[in-house]
């Protein structure tokens, strides 16, 4: 029987988020709820799989791994892009790669960003812990009204973050390499140089895509430009912020506090230094983890998987640009 694997379903939510009967009519669906320890574990678990349904970048699919999955013919990823999949290698190996839309995920991530900003500004996690431990009012918070929000990356998520900032009466600055003053004004933000944004902002929030240019963008030099009273929030991708530099900045008081939803290694290792920092709020990559986003992701995953199994056209995933349409050979054709 044909085999379809769903990877990294941490909350065991995939089967409840969509009607999988169109897939189950044609294939066995294997759901994996834990992260894989290493590449060997991935190969051992997925050697029989013809189709992989992957959740964002939780399990990277580089060329070396794809070459070892000799039965793999199709990958469906949630989201409109996935930079952890080697698309060139997939094409060389005859593996079809498709994706879903990501409209609701952007809104959900922007909402979580504001949750983290408020959590840091008002020390909500620390106060919650204190109350549970029998203490009362252990911090003095920061009001956001009249402060300056700096958005690094005014794209799909950043635009919503800027829009929500109006409710808090904050001044909004924005920067990215290709941002123009006109595009910034569309979000009622002001386009400034990166250095000015870092120096003036009371809250810096990161929403840029991960690339060679943005890896390590927030390093020791960037953190040193920020106010000692400033907060840093990252709901983008972990490697945009240099972890060692952030640890040092939080320990030394270079900045006041930070909140992170993404990390270099996920899940976060049990002995990671981030867990020891009292001025750091941590969430486990929850940006897009909501019921409506999962419904959107998995309903489209089911449609694409069923189409592939039936030999019908599906969209090809591309890194940038519109997805092309591919007609896949029917399974019976070999």
Q: Indicate which residues carry an active-site annotation.
A: 237, 266, 285
Backbone φ and ψ of 13, nearest 5°: -110, -15
Q: Are 41 and 295 in contact (CB under 8 A)?
A: no
Which tokens sit at 188? 């009622």
DSSP states of 141-155? ----TT-EEEEE--S
The C-alpha atoms of residue 88 and residue 77 are separated, in whole angstroms, by 16
Residues 168, 256, 207, 86, Cα dihedral to 10°: -160
Our measurement of the distance from residue 248's CA atom to the centroid of its chain's CA atoms, rounded to an integer in Å, reads: 24
Burial of 66 (0-12, 13-18, 19+ CB in 10 A): buried
DSSP state of 209: P
Sign of the CA dihedral with 30 first, then 33, 35, and 41 last: negative
Backbone φ and ψ of 273, nearest 5°: -65, -25
């Amino acid at each position: 029987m044909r085999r379809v694997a769903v990877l990294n379903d941490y909350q065991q939510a995939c089967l409840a988020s969509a009607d999988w009967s169109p897939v189950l009519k044609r294939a066995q669906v294997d759901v994996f709820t834990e992260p894989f320890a290493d590449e060997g574990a991935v190969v051992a678990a997925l050697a029989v799989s013809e189709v992989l349904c992957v959740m964002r970048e939780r399990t990277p699919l580089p060329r070396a791994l794809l070459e070892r999955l000799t039965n793999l013919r199709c990958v469906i990823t949630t989201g409109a892009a996935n930079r952890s999949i080697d698309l060139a290698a997939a094409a060389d190996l005859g593996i079809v790669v498709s994706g879903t839309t990501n409209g609701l995920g952007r809104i959900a991530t922007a909402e979580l960003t504001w949750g983290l900003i408020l959590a840091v500004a008002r020390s909500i996690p620390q106060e919650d812990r204190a109350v549970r431990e029998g203490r009362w009012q252990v911090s003095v918070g920061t009001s956001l009204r009249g402060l300056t929000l700096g958005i690094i990356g005014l794209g799909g998520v950043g635009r919503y973050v800027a829009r929500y900032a109006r409710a808090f009466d904050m001044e909004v600055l924005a920067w990215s390499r290709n941002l123009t003053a006109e595009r910034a004004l569309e979000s009622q933000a002001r386009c400034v140089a990166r250095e000015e944004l870092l120096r003036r902002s009371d809250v810096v929030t990161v929403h840029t895509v991960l690339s060679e240019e943005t890896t390590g963008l927030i390093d020791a030099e960037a953190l040193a430009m920020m106010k000692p009273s400033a907060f840093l929030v990252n709901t983008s991708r972990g490697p945009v912020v240099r972890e060692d530099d952030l640890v040092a900045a939080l320990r030394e008081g270079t900045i006041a506090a930070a909140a992170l939803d993404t990390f270099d290694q996920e899940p976060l290792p049990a002995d990671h230094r981030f867990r020891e920092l009292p001025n750091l709020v941590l969430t486990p990559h929850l940006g897009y983890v909501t019921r409506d986003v999962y419904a959107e992701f998995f309903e489209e995953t089911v449609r694409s998987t069923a189409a592939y199994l039936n030999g019908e056209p599906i969209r090809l995933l591309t890194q940038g640009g519109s997805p092309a349409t591919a007609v896949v050979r029917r399974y019976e054709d070999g």
